[in-house]
Amino acid sequence: MEQVKSFYETPSPAGLTGIKAWLLTHDHKRLALMYLWAVFFWLVLAVFLGMALRLELMFIGETIMGPEVYNSFFTLHGVIMIFLFVIPAIPAIFGNFFLPIQIGADDVFFPRLNLFSWYLYMIGGLVAVISLFTGDGFADTGWTFYVPFSVSTETNVSLTVTAAFILGMSSLLTGLNFVTTIHRMRGKGMGWLQIPLFTWSLYATAWVQILATPVISITLVLVVIERFLNIGLFDPARGGDPLLYQHLFWMYSHPAVYIMILPAMGIISEIIPVFSRKAIFGYKGIIISSMAIAVAGSLVWAHHMYTSGMSDVSVFVFSLLTFLVAIPTAVKVFSWISTMYKGSILMTPPLLMALIFIYLFSVGGLTGLVLGAAGTDIHVHDTTFVVAHFHFVMFGGTGFAFFAGLHYWWPKMFGLMYNFKRAYISAVLAAIGFIFHYIPMFILGLQGMPRRYFDYLPQFETGNFLAGFGGILMVAGILLMFINLWVSFRVRETATADPWGGTTLEWSVPSPPPLHNFVNEPEVLEYPYDFSGVLARAAKDKG
Amino acid sequence: METAIDKTGVKIGMWIFLYSEIILFGGLFVLYAVYFHTFPEDFAEGGKELNRIFGTANTLVLLISSFTVAASITAVQRRKKGQAIGFLIFSLLCGLAFLVNKYFEWGAKFHHDLYPNSDLLLDSEPGFNIFFGLYYTITGLHGLHVIIGMVLLSISLGLVIRDKVTDQRYAMLENSGLYWHLVDLIWIYVFPLFYLVL
């Protein structure tokens, strides 16, 4: 491929040099990388908070922190992980970087709005930090801010909630930008059925972001209003109904879990066909299932509230709808597996991480059905079983998909290749640690250990010790992974434009891409996962 | 980079944003629906406290301003700058009139000891308290949107004066106008719910 300047090397216009070239940029690629570093920061911080929680729980009684600190820590861990990592990570980093390239566009539709979203993200994070050090300490409510406690507690809930509100705005505007981009900026020949699956998953996600985020915004506004004016909208003594808060909260926050998982599924749908050298099984099926998850996922919020005192009819209806979500999800999992069947598998770190995703995500999904069934849920509600379930989905799922995407697109984003051996070791270490960490929590939950408790009965000590031990392994694995990626900046082993043999448009441009993404008019394949060209090239190289 | 502005795309973005605003208020309307169902008598009681004249006046003010905002866009399209400026200033005055009216309306309520956490509301029926809680939350948030809309219209006005908004390029004015219509639209639902049906 001819030599072209990458977007790093293209000189910035006068007045926009140095740090300004980043802080005032409208380029989606630079913004993606700015998100990347910010997200890294929050992820590492929240991982260490989580680790501190598990270290505290490793032994009975007070180990390294007191109960108040513990409450603030798990709230902080939840708020950071949800609002600053899982929700924004994949859309804001990989979505910003690759969505325009995958559809043959030179940027997103509203580049300035994109920059604004980044600032909202940073301000939201900053407000969260400020709330740590002002007032009476960080919120101790858990990330769900349930009333009446969130209204009556002395801690700094208002500021924490404001942070979540601003971060919600950021996520909403990103979604708005993506929908408009996909509708209006597709390149020549890029019909709806030529769009790669990652972009499709972002499309589904963006709609959920647009439809659901305003509900959390108003809910959080109401919490702040209640704290300042004490109206009593959720106070039963004054006519309010606390259950309504939970409805409003989950009306966003359940769809939000699909904001978290859909882009992850998109990454896996990209990686599996590339390393199987085979067209994805059920391209349309995966698209339809993405949209079906977006729709059905918006109708299941009250399955968080089986024990809150809803009517039996609601419990029944929401339980049924919850089971329905499992169908499109299973369609995806089976499609990925069918893609690999009789493919010519090329093992690489991204594929290994994608496989770990499928395994961990399936465990998380199936235990989700245990929780979705009203009867069993009553037994395990608010126990560590729930904690283990959503960590399997959110971390084993989205987290590992994030790692997979990072390793898949790293050579494209930076033009550098990392060390494979260390990547394998770190992924396996993290996965083993993960299993040791969360499987005991399933068992503890079934035995009745409640979540969010600072201390526990003696019979739970073995399980908690094992979980803490697994946590240490897992954190070690993640750190090794990040160090390995960091080392690639030192070693500087350059990557080719298409190190994996991909078919989507980002692999047709140099690594890292030039400022306007494409050197020549992009050639859109009739079918986005047609590997005949890749295979022919490979055969020619062999001779 | 962008050679021609894709006006349709800009509009899609704006409409999606407006939709999200409607959902924002939707959450409050859900609360209204549930509490109205729970406390129909108290709500009727509370509704009697509200002044229909104030409400109707505000509705008229907003409807007229919506018309003048639309008229200013047409004026810009017809390159009648003076007219456009006049219409926009009139719309802004309508917005101001709405807020002043609201100020007096709220002031009268405060005078009658009807405000969040007041002794009267603390001692009254729970439904009555909820009604006024919702009244202040919804009209307050709507008032905030009126202010945001006025800021947007003022920016557009400045752009019209400085010839940055022309018959070729008026997306900013049009989108501010759409936002203003949204403020109007929400009021069209708030007005009957609080002033008429009870």
The burial of B130, by beta-carbon neighbours within 10 Å (0-12 exposed, 13-18 middle, 19 or more buried), is given as buried
**A55-110 confidence digits (pLDDT tens):** 999 999 998 999 989 998 999 999 999 999 999 999 999 999 999 999 999 999 99
Q: What is the 3-state secondary structure (H, E, C) of A489-541?
A: HHHCEECCCCCCCCCCHHHHCCCCCCCCCCCCCCCCCCCCCCCHHHHHHHHHH
Closest alpha carbon to B35 in A254, A245, A301:
A245
Structure tokens that stand for A505 in this block: 């448009």
**A486-525 confidence digits (pLDDT tens):** 999 999 999 999 999 999 999 999 989 999 999 888 889 9
CATH code that applies to domain B7-196: 1.20.120.80
Chain A contact present for B20, CB below 8 A? yes
**A446-485 confidence digits (pLDDT tens):** 999 999 999 999 999 999 999 999 999 999 999 999 999 9
How many degrees, rounded to 5, is the angle at CA A48 between CA A44 and CA A54?
A: 145
Mean pLDDT calculated for residue range B53-63? 94
Structure tokens that stand for B138 in this block: 């919804």
pLDDT at B185 over 60: yes
Q: How far is CA A512 from the centre of its chain?
A: 24
- Which residue in this structure is represented by tokens 């078919």? A503
Count A/B contacts: CB-CB distance under 8 Å.
104
Mean pLDDT calculated for residue range B186-191? 95
R_g of chain B, CA atoms, integer Å: 19
**A259-317 confidence digits (pLDDT tens):** 999 999 999 999 999 999 999 999 999 999 999 999 999 999 999 999 988 889 999 99
- What's the CATH superfamily of A33-542? Cytochrome c oxidase-like, subunit I domain (1.20.210.10)
| Residue A94, CA atoms < 13 Å, CB-side half-sphere | 30
What are the strands, taking DSSP E only, across A34-160? none
Mean pLDDT calculated for residue range B15-43? 94
Which ipTM value was assigned to this complex?
0.91
Report pTM.
Answer: 0.93
Burial B27-44 (b: 16+ CB within 10 A, else e): bbbbbbeebbeebeebbe
Residue A7 vs residue A35, higher pLDDT: A35
Mean pLDDT calculated for residue range A214-233? 91
How many degrees, rounded to 5, is the angle at CA A92 between CA A246 and CA A334?
A: 75
Q: Which helix (H) or strand (E) holds A416?
A: strand A416-417
In angstroms, rounded to a whole number, what is the distance separating the alpha carbons of residues B129 and B136? 11
- Which residue in this structure is represented by tokens 């006068």? A14
Report H helices in chain B.
7-38, 40-49, 52-77, 81-111, 119-123, 126-161, 171-191
In angstroms, rounded to a whole number, what is the distance separating the alpha carbons of residues A438 and A360? 11
Nearest to B27 among A107, A218, A237 (CB): A218
Q: Which of B1, B16, B39, B109 best tests the A interface by mutation, with the highest count of A CBs <10 A? A: B16
Q: How far is CA A340 from the centre of its chain?
A: 24
3-state secondary structure (DSSP) of residue B163:
coil
In angstroms, rounded to a whole number, what is the distance separating the alpha carbons of residues A92 and A78? 19
**Residues in chain A whose Cβ is within 8 Å of chain B:** 106-107, 109-110, 113, 172, 176-177, 179-180, 183-185, 210-211, 213-215, 217-219, 221-222, 225, 229-233, 237-241, 244, 247-248, 251, 516
Asked if the bond preceding A514 is cis, omega within 30° of 0, the reply is no
Q: Where are the domains of chain A?
A: 33-542
